[in-house]
Structure 1
C-alpha cells in the first residue's frame, strides 16, 4: 500500500475526523483522492446533504509512487480511515474501488470569484440551529400516522433548500459544513462561485454545491 506522508499529527487527526464523519452518514462511503505535490484533496458526498465536501490535507513531501508524481483514485473511506496513523502522520492509499457517479464530476479548479451577501460565521451557525429546531418542532407536531419518511423528507427539503442571506447558497450547505466540522468558532468563512457552482470555504474544508444538482452542465470530469 502506497504511503502518504502527512504534514503533521494534526493533519492526520483532522483527516481521520473528516472520514469518520462521512462514514457516520454512509457506512459504505467512498472518497476521491487527488494529490499533486504536497497538496492532497479528499472529496466526499454525504448523502444526507446532497453536497460535495472537500478536505484539503497538507503533505510533508510531494506524493510519489515509482514514476507517478500525481495521485487520482477513488477508494473506500473506511479503508482509508483504518490506514491513518496519527502518531506517525501517515496514511495508506487503499485499493481503488468503482466510484459512485458523483466521483466522476468535480467542480472546476479555477475561475472562482468572491460572492457577497454571506452572513457572519456566528449567524451561519445560528441559522443551522434554527433549522434543526424547526425540523424537530414540525415533525413532532405530526400525527403518528403522518410521520412517514416521505413527509419527513419533504419538511427537511423545504427547510434546508432555503437560501442563505442575500446569496444563492442553500442552507443545507451550511448544515453540511457544520456537521462535517468545517464551520468552527473563530474561523473565517467565504463564499466563492464559478458558473453555477457555489463553494463555502473555511480553513478546515469546503462545501461545493450546484444549483442544478451534481452532474449537470458546467462541470469538470476528470
Structure 2
C-alpha cells in the first residue's frame, strides 16, 4: 500500500529528519534509506558510505501507519516539509543488499551508560589521528590503498573495551548524533549486534569482527 505522506507527532521531527538525510547525502549522493513504520513509529535506516555501519533515526507519527519501503534519500529529503511537520514518501527503488539485512527489532539489552563527552572525544580522536598519520606520509605514499588500510587499523579498535568499533563512534559524530554533550549515550546489544543510542539517533555495528556491517566492502577514509 502506498503511503503518500507521513505526519509527525512532535515539533522538530521534520527538521531532524532533513538534517540526518543531508549529512547522509554528503557521503553518498545516491544513497537509499529503508523506511519502516509500525503503529505510530517511523524508523529510517541508512548505511552511510565508508563507515560500514547502520544508522537509524526514529520519530513518532500522528496516526498509525504500516509501511516498509526502500526509497531514494535525496527524494525523501525533497519531500520534507518542516512547516507542516510532514514528509512525502517517494516511489520505492530497488534497494542495496544491506536494506534486506537489518538487525532485529527486539531483544536489545542495555550494556553500558556512556559519558557523552568521552564518546565525542573518541570520535574527534579518530579524525585527528588519521590526519596526523596521513600528514607524516610522503606524497607518493598517500595512495587510496594505504589510506584505507590506515583507516581500517584505527576504526577496528574498540571504544574503551566495550566491543563497539570506533567506526561506529565516528559515524555517530559525522551524522550529528553526538552534537549535544549533555544528552545521554547508551550501549545496547543483541546477538552479534551492538547499538550506540543517543537522543538524535543510533548507530549499529557487529561486534567481534571489526564492526563491519553485513555487505561490507566500501573504502574507509575518515575525514
- TM-score scaled by length of structure 2: 0.90
Residue 43 in structure 1 maps to residue 45 in structure 2: yes
Q: Is the 8 A contact 2:172 2:203 kept in 1?
A: yes
1:130-209 to structure 2, matched below 5 A, reads 130-183=125-178, 184-209=180-205
Q: Is the 8 A contact 2:114 2:186 kept in 1?
A: no
Q: Is the 8 A contact 1:44 1:52 kept in 2?
A: yes
Residue 169 of structure 1: SS of its match in structure 2? coil
- TM-score scaled by length of structure 1: 0.90
Please list the CA deviations of residues 30-87 of structure 1 after superposition, one character each: whole Å capped at 9, or x if unmatched.
0000011210000000012110000001212222xxxxxx100000000000000000
Residue 173 of structure 1: SS of its match in structure 2? helix
1:23 equivalent in structure 2: 25
Q: Is the 8 A contact 1:9 1:88 kept in 2?
A: no
Please list the CA deviations of residues 110-151 of structure 1 after superposition, one character each: whole Å capped at 9, or x if unmatched.
1111114x6411011111111111111100111111010111
1:214 equivalent in structure 2: 213
Residue 92 in structure 1 maps to residue 88 in structure 2: yes
2: CA distance between counterparts of 1:119 and 1:156? 24
Please list the CA deviations of residues 133-177 of structure 1 after superposition, one character each: whole Å capped at 9, or x if unmatched.
111110011111101011111111111111001210001101111
Residue 114 in structure 1 maps to residue 116 in structure 2: no
- Shift in Å, 1:214: 3.0
1: CA distance between counterparts of 2:164 and 2:90? 34
Residue 13 of structure 1: SS of its match in structure 2? helix
Q: Is the 8 A contact 1:32 1:43 kept in 2?
A: yes
1: CA distance between counterparts of 2:149 and 2:214? 23
The alignment covers a number of residue pairs equal to 209
- What value does the CA root-mean-square deviation take over the aligned residues? 1.4
Q: Is the 8 A contact 2:9 2:61 kept in 1?
A: yes
Residue 115 of structure 1: SS of its match in structure 2? strand
1:105 equivalent in structure 2: 101
